Amino acid sequence: MAEMSLPLLNALPGRIVRLVAGQTLFSAGQAPEALYRIDKGLVRLTRDGATIHRAGPGDLFGEVGLFRATWDATATAIGATTVTAYPRHALLLVMKAHPDLAVGFAAWMAARLDQARAEAEILRIKGADARILAAIAQAGGRLELDGPLLAWAGQLGLTHEALYRTLKRLVAQGRVERIGRRGFRII
């Protein structure tokens, strides 16, 4: 899911970082240096070997690193990936100097927390059919993905095979309409 615009980031120059498949951007235990926005590709965040988040084009990640001494997760590129890094120290200075930008960042964090809660609700649902239908319903009955189906499968806690198979069945049953490559609507 692409992130909302953050004026805070417009106040800072970002540094472009290019990653190859499997390359680590940062590791658990390292000191955080930046907040990141994905320009192209995907990043998987893992903790103790388990995937805790997938970020795609337009997504910001690493926000907890602004307020911690060390990372609690490892960020790894899934395929060729380009990110923009916004320096941690500079972000904190701008927030202190411009409270309005800090409030905008706090609003973004609150929206991010709401999104995480909604995703957790979906993950508690038993069965791939019900989980997929609930995710589409949560988006207002029509969902247009801004990333690959593989990333959505991860967000739903499904294998990509289970997602593809279940979507095919829901479409065949007339319960879901596929709109283009990445769009779905409950019928």
Domain ranges of the chain: 7-116, 125-186
**C-alpha pair distances (Å), 93 with each of 13, 23, 86, 99, 101:** 14, 30, 12, 10, 11
DSSP string, 148-173: -HHHHHHHHT--HHHHHHHHHHHHHT
Residue 70 makes CB contacts below 8 A (sequence gap 6+) with 28, 29, 30, 31, 32
Could you give the CA distance from residue 92 to residue 98 in angstroms, rounded to a whole number?
10
Query: What percentage of the chain carries pLDDT values higher than 70?
Result: 97
Return the pLDDT at 8.
84
Predicted local distance difference test score (pLDDT) of residue 155: 82
CATH code given to domain 7-116: 2.60.120.10
Nearest-angstrom CA–CA distance, 89 and 142: 40
7-116 and 125-186: same fold?
A: no
The sheet carrying 142-144 orders its strands as: 142-144, 183-186, 176-179
53 sits in which H/E element: strand 50-55
Would you say residue 26 has pLDDT above 70?
yes
pLDDT score, position 1: 43
> CATH says 125-186 is which class?
mainly alpha
Q: How far is residue 58 from each of residues 5, 40, 41, 171, measured CA to CA in Å?
A: 9, 8, 10, 29
> Which band of pLDDT confidence, cut at 50, 70 and 90, is reported for residue 38?
very high
Q: Distances from the Cα of 183 to the Cαs of 28, 41, 89, 140, 144, in angstroms? A: 35, 19, 39, 13, 4
Pick 167 or 55 by higher pLDDT.
167
pLDDT in tens, 88-115: 999 999 999 999 999 999 998 998 889 8
Q: HSE of 177 in the Cβ direction (CA atoms, 13 Å)?
A: 6
The structure's pTM equals: 0.73
pLDDT value at position 5? 62
